[in-house]
Amino acid sequence: MKNILILHSSNDLYGASKALIKTINCLNKNQFKIHLILPSSGKLDNELINKVYKLNYYNLGVFRKKYLNFLGLFDRFFKIIDSSLYVRNYIKKNKIDLVYTNTSVIWAGSIASFSLKKKNIVHIHEIPFGNNLYNVISGIFFKLFTDSVIVVSEKVKDHWKKNIDIKKMKIIYNYSEFQIKERQFEYFKKGTTEYTITNISRIVPQKGIEYFIKIASELLKKNKELKFNIVGDHLSHSDNYLNNLKKILKNNNLEKHILFKGFIKDIKKVILNSDMILQTPVKPDSLPTVLIDSLTLNKPVVSTNVGGSSEILNCGKNGLLIPTNNPKKSAKLIYEYSKNLNLQKEHLVNSASFLEENFSQSKFETNILITLSKLLNE
């Protein structure tokens, strides 16, 4: 039985954390002894406490673009050194065979394993935007200190290939935790004429919640019976952003039509109670798995054409792609799509075989095990 140490940068139940759960489930089935280090306690604990051999908490000194200033670099230097020493000692004490870092913002695992000549792998979920220097520095680091890099989409690979050796990178797509629903289709939920359009995102600017509100406002001009839900919570430092969004709703008399639902764990229920899922990231979103989940549950989906959305929607063959900067045009396209049942059916039928071929659990687990086994046997 091989000892694997996994490092993760957050304790929540969003994209990268959900992928982590799936990776750990895969490793558990294949006789790995899993050691996990998280930055703090949180929502992930209950999901993983019985699936790992050891669960530890430590500040792993995440390195984000906001630290690219004199004080930030000074602070990160000491945090990264401290966390690298902690991980190095942990590797030695627990006889770790492989270090698996589930994010691009933690460097301690690569530094510690490199110093001990242990194999390490980084699973990159992020497409950092807005600071090319950060991308160059991070890419050079992974090129020098990491043995293998998993990326979650072609878009992520395209972003990092300028600075990371392409031979080191392998695309492994995520999958839905839900079973494919029987291909039945209804326009309205029984007993109601209300049509619900839902966005499932963390409430941060890059997810385009304000854009979602603008599109919803345009759609309400066409049909006042529409209902819009925003499902997700916000980070503590984004209080102002959330307050501004609520102010927009109040100033435009939209509070009864567009509702903030907060974080809801039962995403399956949210999707099934919706008529359409509308994701509106305005910056590259590496692989929005809510689109995979929604198609799996037989719900029509719409997304802005950025990041990995086009890969999941197969360039518009599995759902509707809309622009990121034109709410009126987007609303027109969405309204027409909501009425075009034949096109929705076509997209959902297309998605069934496409998801099975590209975003299946078996393919994910096979590729994870092949990648890890290759490293361990080198």
Q: Which domains does the chain have, with CATH numbers?
A: 2-173+360-376 (3.40.50.2000), 195-358 (3.40.50.2000)
At 200, the amino acid letter reads I
pLDDT at residue number 286: 95
pLDDT at residue number 294: 96
Per-residue pLDDT in tens (0 to 9) along the chain, 378 residues: 899 999 999 999 898 999 999 999 999 999 899 999 999 999 999 999 899 999 999 999 999 999 999 999 999 999 999 999 999 999 999 999 999 999 999 999 999 999 999 999 999 999 998 899 999 999 999 999 999 999 999 999 999 999 999 999 999 999 999 987 654 555 434 444 689 999 999 999 999 999 999 999 999 999 999 999 999 998 777 789 999 999 999 999 999 999 999 999 999 999 999 999 999 999 999 999 999 999 999 999 999 999 999 999 999 999 999 999 999 999 999 999 999 999 999 999 999 999 999 999 999 999 999 999 999 997
Q: What is the pTM of this model?
A: 0.92
CB atoms within 10 A of CB 307: 24
pLDDT at residue number 239: 80
DSSP 8-state symbol, 318: S
Give start and end residues of each alpha helix (H) in 98-232. 108-115, 132-145, 154-160, 209-222
Helix (H) or strand (E) run with residue 99 in it: strand 98-101
CB neighbour list of residue 248: distance below 8 Å, 6 or more residues apart: 210, 213, 254
pLDDT at residue number 109: 98
CB atoms within 10 A of CB 158: 12
pLDDT at residue number 235: 78
pLDDT at residue number 356: 93
pLDDT at residue number 181: 60
DSSP string, 19-40: HHHHHHHHHHHTTEEEEEEESS
User: Which two structure tokens, joined as six digits, stand for 200?
Assistant: 């499932």
pLDDT at residue number 189: 43
Separation of CA 169 from chain center: 18
Mark 91-112 as b/e (b = at least 16 C-beta within 10 Å).
beeeebbbbbbbbbbbbbbbbb
At 123, the amino acid letter reads H
